[in-house]
């Protein structure tokens, strides 16, 4: 996919690990400059050192409301424009609802839902003014396939999918495309909350997806003709239902 995004500027939240890292590296390989947004300063620095001047570091804690509000001004200060925004930052809570920590629930809902809405709200005026832009949100198979071990997480992703579909209908007339990727279990740090036995079974049965495979779908969405919007892609391992 060399040079398919040449001249474009992208920004990715949660860019220093997992799906965000894979998406960032795929866009860089395709010729984009990418604003690397993450709260992990060391991981951001390491990533940008590996990829050179096309990777632009932005260390930001999106759960800090004042810091979150500076997202778009800082992107423009670093890159001057924004063509692609991948709202990827998120976290996970699994297990029985009765056992959940309510403070952790608040944090997850804030990051998975509120921060996504605020970030998209903040990038829209610039993209509308330019008459073009792509917004991709990382959702989950949990938004389509409610599972009994993740009620709070699944609810956050159902909310995100509704948000994506309704915002898309508001802004397509301005030349913007809005879509979501909804992968099943991906080999990232978020799986650390899974029960050990469940994780072992998933690995043995081939029921996990690699982050690089999700990034390939992101690139597919971004490189369609402007007349086509890929609104939602559900990805799952072939052996998911085993």
Q: How far apart are CA 162 and CA 181, in angstroms?
A: 13
* For helices 211-222 and 18-29, angle between their N-to-C axes, nearest 10 degrees: 50
81 to each of 6, 27, 129, 225, how far by Cα in Å? 14, 16, 11, 21
> Of the candidates 67, 28, 72, 69, which has an alpha carbon nearest to the alpha carbon of residue 50?
28
User: Catalytic pick from 85, 92, 153, 163?
Assistant: 153
199 to each of 16, 170, 188, 205, how far by Cα in Å? 23, 40, 12, 10
For tokens 């917004």, name the residue.
135
Answer whether 112's CB lies under 8 Å from 90's CB.
Answer: yes
187 in helix, strand or coil?
coil
Q: How far apart are CA 67 and CA 51, in angstroms?
A: 25
Is 92 a residue of the active site? no
Active site positions, annotated: 153
């Amino acid at each position: 996919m060399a040079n398919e995004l040449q001249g474009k500027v992208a920004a990715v939240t949660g860019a220093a690990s997992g799906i965000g890292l894979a998406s960032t590296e795929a866009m860089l390989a395709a010729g984009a400059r990418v604003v690397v947004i993450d709260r992990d300063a060391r991981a951001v620095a390491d990533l940008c050192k590996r990829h050179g001047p096309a990777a632009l570091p932005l260390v930001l804690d999106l759960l800090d409301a004042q810091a979150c509000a500076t997202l778009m001004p800082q992107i423009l200060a670093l890159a001057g424009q924004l063509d692609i925004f991948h709202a990827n930052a998120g976290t996970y809570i699994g297990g029985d609802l009765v056992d959940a920590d309510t403070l952790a629930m608040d944090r997850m809902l804030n990051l998975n839902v509120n921060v996504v809405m605020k970030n998209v709200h903040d990038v829209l005026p610039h993209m509308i003014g330019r008459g073009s832009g792509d917004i991709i949100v990382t959702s989950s198979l949990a938004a389509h396939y409610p599972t009994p071990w993740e009620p709070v997480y699944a609810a956050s992703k159902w909310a995100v999918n509704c948000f994506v579909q309704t915002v898309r209908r508001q802004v397509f007339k301005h030349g913007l495309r809005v879509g979501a990727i909804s992968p099943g279990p991906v080999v990232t740090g978020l799986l650390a909350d899974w029960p050990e036995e469940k994780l072992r079974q998933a690995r043995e049965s081939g029921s996990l997806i690699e982050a690089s495979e999700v990034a390939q779908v992101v690139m597919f969405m971004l490189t369609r003709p402007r007349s086509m919007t890929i609104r939602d892609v559900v990805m799952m391992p072939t052996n998911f239902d085993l």
